[in-house]
């Protein structure tokens, strides 16, 4: 039995731990928390919960966008926030990152220790535990690919068919008997197979005695840009041209290895009521970065007749990675409630889709501020990997998009969610209200889960949610599920389903 204390409601830490989750739209009420410090702690805590027949979940960074962890049915919540080591493991010849480490700390330690990086997500407060299993796109994905593309292995606590919790290590080595479990961890998303305690990372195909050669080098500097357009004067024609320009740029500039693949931008199309919409981005091309960035923004504005403001900034890699775009990831996020609905695009938006965006941003039917349609540049190195080489199958997309709404109090929820669902449904009206994999769209990413995909009221395509997240990789993920979590202990609203 576990000797770790059960942190119940009377313990002052309970409330703090229970409010850790980023998306305050969801609240759970576990009977108790456990704070693990070692893999043995995790084995014991899992064994105790399983023996007692309690529903168990795990939290690392708390940045889940859906209610997978803050689920009222969860009785025991294992919190990984004390497991935060980042070091070079001489035996594995790979960088080890413990599951509770937040991304900012990953970036900081990899840079200070070795001058290297893992191309992972944008917010420095995301936790390794949930993040790395979901593919992981980020600011440098066009240049270096996804974090999952560098995953060498992981240590997990799993539960076998005899209800016995035990530790297992899975690596990408072809002769590793647990190779399929490693593969599953490169895109299935957190909460599916067991509790990961550590990840190891190393660039595939590189052998060296110098750790600094075993992951991508951090850029010498990061050139940031921010462009802003006033809604005033932006009529539908100008707006549509601008969005189409952005799509065209992505179609023409998303090849791996090109100077433009060192650029990444987010077009944030906010509601008319906010007064403006904007673009932020970065480029790591050194002396050429300023020129590449300015040309990108000018190409997006081309022919619109609109004026925009343009600001730039130079930062070191760690200064940027540990506090990127504070206006986006900083202040005011502590009480955020939100819904995000993602979609991948292989080609730019159609005129009808751009009209749907314009309509939803300018309508007065919904009196809401905190909502937007966002697009980010995708592709580049991400698209050099085969769809089945990892469990993340979307490997020829050029744009990732999100309809997102954020609000402060419970009372505002219904209007924001209605707006968000309405936009998404209209965007994909031709395919059942969802981005069915086809010539233009290609599903969505599990790191940005959307439980509506499992709801026939919002997904009328007739396709199971797995067709959006994992496409043809799903049967292989199910096989791994049957082998390493045969009792389906680790599950949530969008988890890998065991084969019946």
Distance CA 230, CA 430 (A): 32
Residue span binding ligand FAD (CB under 6 A) among the ranges 109-117, 136-144, 296-304, 313-321:
136-144
Taking CB positions, which residue lies at the least distance from ligand FAD?
A: 190
Single out the residue of 124, 138, 318, 393 in contact with ligand FAD (rule: CB under 6 A): 138
The pattern of x and - marking residues 59 through 98 that bind ligand FAD according to CB under 6 A reads xxxxxxx--xx----------x------------------
Chain position carrying tokens 């389906």: 488
Residue 145 in contact with ligand FAD, rule: CB under 6 A: no
| Contacts by residues 238-243 (CB-CB < 8 Å, ≥ 24 positions apart) | 238/304, 238/305, 238/306, 239/304, 239/354, 239/358, 240/351, 240/354, 240/355, 240/358, 241/302, 241/303, 241/304, 242/300, 242/301, 242/304, 242/306, 243/267, 243/269, 243/349, 243/354, 243/357, 243/375
The pattern of x and - marking residues 11 through 30 that bind ligand FAD according to CB under 6 A reads -----------x--------
Residue 127 in contact with ligand FAD, rule: CB under 6 A: yes
Task: Collapse the DSSP code of 453 into the 3-class scheme (helix H, G, I; strand E, B; otherwise coil) and give the result.
Answer: helix
Residue 109 in contact with ligand FAD, rule: CB under 6 A: no
Give the DSSP per-residue string, 246-280.
HHHHHHHS-BTTSGGGGEEEEEEEE-GGGSEEEEE
Task: Collapse the DSSP code of 448 into the 3-class scheme (helix H, G, I; strand E, B; otherwise coil) and give the result.
Answer: coil
The token duo for 326 is 């504070």
Residue 182 in contact with ligand FAD, rule: CB under 6 A: no
Residue 400 in contact with ligand FAD, rule: CB under 6 A: no
Residue numbers 471-500 binding ligand FAD by CB under 6 A? 492
**Which C-beta is closer to ligand FAD: that of 22 or that of 407?**
22
Single out the residue of 304, 383, 390, 447 in contact with ligand FAD (rule: CB under 6 A): 447
Residue 397 in contact with ligand FAD, rule: CB under 6 A: no
Q: What are phi and psi of 399, to 5 degrees?
A: -140, 140
DSSP state of 232: T
Give the nearest distance from C-beta 63 to ligand FAD in angstroms: 3
**Which C-beta is closer to ligand FAD: that of 368 or that of 382?**
382
List contacts with ligand FAD (CB under 6 A).
22, 57-65, 68-69, 80, 99, 121-123, 126-127, 129-131, 134, 136-138, 190-191, 195-196, 447-448, 492
């Amino acid at each position: 039995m576990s000797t770790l204390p059960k942190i119940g409601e009377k313990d002052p830490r309970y409330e703090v731990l229970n409010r850790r989750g980023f998306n305050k739209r969801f609240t759970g009420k576990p009977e108790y928390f456990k704070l693990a410090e070692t893999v043995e702690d995790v084995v014991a805590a899992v064994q105790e919960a399983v023996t007692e027949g309690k529903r168990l979940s795990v939290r690392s960074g708390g940045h889940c966008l859906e209610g997978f962890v803050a689920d009222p049915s969860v009785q025991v919540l294992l919190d990984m926030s004390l497991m935060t080591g980042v070091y070079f493991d001489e035996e594995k010849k790979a960088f080890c990152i413990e599951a509770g480490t937040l991304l900012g700390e990953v970036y900081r330690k990899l840079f200070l220790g070795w001058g290297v990086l893992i191309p992972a997500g944008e917010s420095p407060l995301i936790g390794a535990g949930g993040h790395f299993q979901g593919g992981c796109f980020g600011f440098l994905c066009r240049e270096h690919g996804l974090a999952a593309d560098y995953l060498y292995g992981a240590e997990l606590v799993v539960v076998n068919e005899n209800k016995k919790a035990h530790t297992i290590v899975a690596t990408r080595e072809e002769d590793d008997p647990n190779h399929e479990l490693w593969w599953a961890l490169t895109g299935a998303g957190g909460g599916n197979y067991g509790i990961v305690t550590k990840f190891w990372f190393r660039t595939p195909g590189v052998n060296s005695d110098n750790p600094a050669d075993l992951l991508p080098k951090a850029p010498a500097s990061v050139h940031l840009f921010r462009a802003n357009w006033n809604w005033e004067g932006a009529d539908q024609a100008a707006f549509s041209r601008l969005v189409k320009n952005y799509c065209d740029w992505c179609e023409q500039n998303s090849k791996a290895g090109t100077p433009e693949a060192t650029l990444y931008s987010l077009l944030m199309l906010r509601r008319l009521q906010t007064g403006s919409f904007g673009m932020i981005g970065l480029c790591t091309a050194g002396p050429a970065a300023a020129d590449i960035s300015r040309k990108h923004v000018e190409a997006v504005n081309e022919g619109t007749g609109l004026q925009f403001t343009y600001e730039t900034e130079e930062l070191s890699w760690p200064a940027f990675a540990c506090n990127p775009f504070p206006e986006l990831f900083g202040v005011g996020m502590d009480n955020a409630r939100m819904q995000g609905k993602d979609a991948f695009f292989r080609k730019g938006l159609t005129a009808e889709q751009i009209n749907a965006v314009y309509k939803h941003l300018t309508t007065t039917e919904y009196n809401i501020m905190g909502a937007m349609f966002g697009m980010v540049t995708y592709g580049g190195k991400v698209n050099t990997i085969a769809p089945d080489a990892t469990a993340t199958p979307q490997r020829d997309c050029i744009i990732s998009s999100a309809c997102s709404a954020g609000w402060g109090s419970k009372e505002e929820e219904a209007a924001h969610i209605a707006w968000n669902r309405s936009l998404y449904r209209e965007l994909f009206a031709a395919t059942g209200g969802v981005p069915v994999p086809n010539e233009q769209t290609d599903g969505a990413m599990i790191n940005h889960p959307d439980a509506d995909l499992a709801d026939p009221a919002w997904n009328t395509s007739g396709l199971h949610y797995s067709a959006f997240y994992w496409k043809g990789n799903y049967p292989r993920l199910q096989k791994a599920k049957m082998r390493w979590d045969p009792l389906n202990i680790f599950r949530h609203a969008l988890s890998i389903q065991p084969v019946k």
